[in-house]
Amino acid sequence: MSRILLADDSPHAQRMGERLLRDEGHEVVTITDGDTVFVRLPDVDPDILILDANLPLRSGYEIARFVKRSPFYRHAAVLLTGSVAEPVDETRARAAGADGFIQKPFESKALLALVTPLSAKAAELRKLRPAGPPPPPPGAEPAFVSGVVSVEPEPEFAMDPEGDRPVPQLAPLGVKPIPESEPDTLSENERVRAAVTLALDAAMPQLIDSLTQQVVKALHSK
């Protein structure tokens, strides 16, 4: 199974995604902001990154761009996630090199239909990874050798696992690629469910505090 880095600042999305993926045997590391993603990338060394497109500090688009332009990490698949309130910008997602996207709240079959083939693809591409240390995160100072900055060109193609010819980056079979345009197919029930889920997620801390105060008050009144 795969190592998956799940980055989302919503506790509800983290819990749901982690449960669905762990039930399928995947190893999951959850993170709440974009800066921490870059800190944890070397030790997690994920096969798949599932990123909220609108992560705080560093967006999912920025992380996807870094991963897909890095020879060390570009084997990893990147899925961007969005919600009804904050949808994925498909143009930015394509430009960043993301493999696909999925809407929250996660639905088990839809999530696994994306993750399963991406997991197999990442395992094959990992075999082609060049030797050497992982790259520094964006913004880090470049390394100088004899006064010369070593810069590797940004790859536009992956390498064919069965040869040495470059092939375009394409979404694997069965994975929903990022389309040029896609009609909105969400039913009214799905829209309402998503909106209610987000509202409950945001209101949960206040509800817990309010109920706690009421229980304490009731206990003291006895």
Domain span holding position 138? 3-182
Kindly state whether residues 194 and 177 are assigned to the same domain. Answer: no
Kindly state whether residues 106 and 172 are assigned to the same domain. Answer: yes
Q: Where are the beta strands (DSSP E) in 104-165?
A: 144-145, 148-149, 157-159
Kindly state whether residues 15 and 61 are assigned to the same domain. Answer: yes
Kindly state whether residues 37 and 135 are assigned to the same domain. Answer: yes
Q: Rounded mean pLDDT of the chain? A: 80
Rounded distance between C-alpha atoms, residue 13 and residue 134, angstroms: 29
Q: What confidence tens digit (pLDDT) does each residue in 48-67 have? A: 999 999 999 999 999 999 99
> Taking the CB of residue 46, how many other CB atoms lie within 10 A of it?
24
Kindly state whether residues 94 and 198 are assigned to the same domain. Answer: no
Q: What is the rounded radius of gyration, in angstroms, for the C-alpha atoms of the chain?
A: 20
Burial annotation 181-198 (CB, 10 A radius, 16+ → b, else e): eeeeeeeeeeeeebeebb
Kindly state whether residues 110 and 74 are assigned to the same domain. Answer: yes
Q: What confidence tens digit (pLDDT) does each residue in 159-208 have? A: 444 444 444 444 443 344 554 444 444 456 655 665 666 666 666 667 67
Structurally, the chain folds into a number of domains equal to 2
Element (H, E) at 77: strand 77-82
Kindly state whether residues 140 and 42 are assigned to the same domain. Answer: yes
Three-state DSSP at 9 gives: coil
Kindly state whether residues 215 and 126 are assigned to the same domain. Answer: no
147 half-sphere exposure, CB direction, 13 A CA radius: 0
pTM (two decimals): 0.66
CATH number where 102 lies: 3.40.50.2300
Kindly state whether residues 196 and 97 are assigned to the same domain. Answer: no
